[in-house]
């Protein structure tokens, strides 16, 4: 609490912090059924909110047998199925050659199989909270692992002009370290396991009760 009095910068994660953390898959009709089934089976292995949205869209349809399932924080899930290596997660991690593709994708042996468009609602009171922080003279920014379009949209709706998308857990730590090096005293607000390193790095950390 003593440290909290001295902060001058507030850094928010987006999903589950500024938003309600209950994403929904909005382009399910564009995804081939086989791809949705595989992605749903993989997503069921994770507690990440985006994975939950994909698993829910798959509706529990029987999927392939998954082997050697692993999850890389801030990147996604990898598994072996039908003799191929599948990845569900960030395009720049899952694809051998992401090109201009971003957001969450399903890849088979590094090749794009499907892209998932996720939407999330603003958390009630988020706009008022950001406005109140600004009234106190605090600098506010967003660090998110989500795709650029989604982060830009939330930043615009909340009037937060300083934001970064596609940020890994290590990237969040680096940004907080840079702010500290510049003399900033940072409050980090995040809700997920992916935010844990950044929460540790900040001068003060906070998480919603729903985290």
3-state SS, residue 18: coil
Q: Which of 13, 102, 120, 191 is catalytic?
A: 13
C-alpha 158/C-alpha 180 separation (Å) is 24
Active site residue 119: no
Mention every residue, 6+ apart, whose C-beta is less than 8 A from residue 44.
Answer: 51, 55, 58, 63
Q: What angle do helix axes 33-43 and 49-58 make, rounded to 10 degrees?
A: 130
Nearest to 139 by CA among 104, 174, 176: 176
Catalytic positions, please?
Answer: 13
């Amino acid at each position: 609490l003593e440290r909290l009095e001295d902060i001058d910068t507030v850094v928010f994660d987006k999903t589950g912090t500024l938003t309600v953390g209950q994403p929904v898959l909005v382009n399910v009709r564009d995804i081939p059924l086989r791809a949705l089934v595989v992605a749903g089976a993989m997503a069921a292995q994770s507690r990440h909110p985006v994975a939950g949205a994909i698993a829910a869209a798959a509706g529990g349809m029987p999927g392939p047998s998954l082997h050697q399932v692993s999850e890389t924080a801030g990147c996604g899930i990898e598994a072996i199925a039908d003799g191929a290596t599948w990845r569900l997660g960030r395009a720049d991690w899952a694809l051998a050659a992401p090109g201009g593709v971003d957001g969450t994708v399903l890849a088979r042996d590094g090749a794009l199989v499907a892209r998932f468009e996720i939407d999330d609602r603003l958390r009630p009171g988020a706009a008022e909270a950001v406005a109140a922080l600004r009234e106190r003279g605090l600098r506010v920014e967003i660090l998110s692992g989500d795709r650029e379009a989604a982060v830009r949209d939330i930043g615009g709706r909340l009037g937060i002009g300083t934001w970064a998308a596609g940020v890994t857990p290590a990237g969040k730590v680096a940004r907080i370290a840079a702010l500290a090096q510049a003399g900033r005293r940072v409050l980090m607000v995040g809700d997920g396991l992916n935010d844990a390193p950044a929460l540790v790095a900040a001068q003060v950390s906070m998480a919603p009760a729903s985290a």
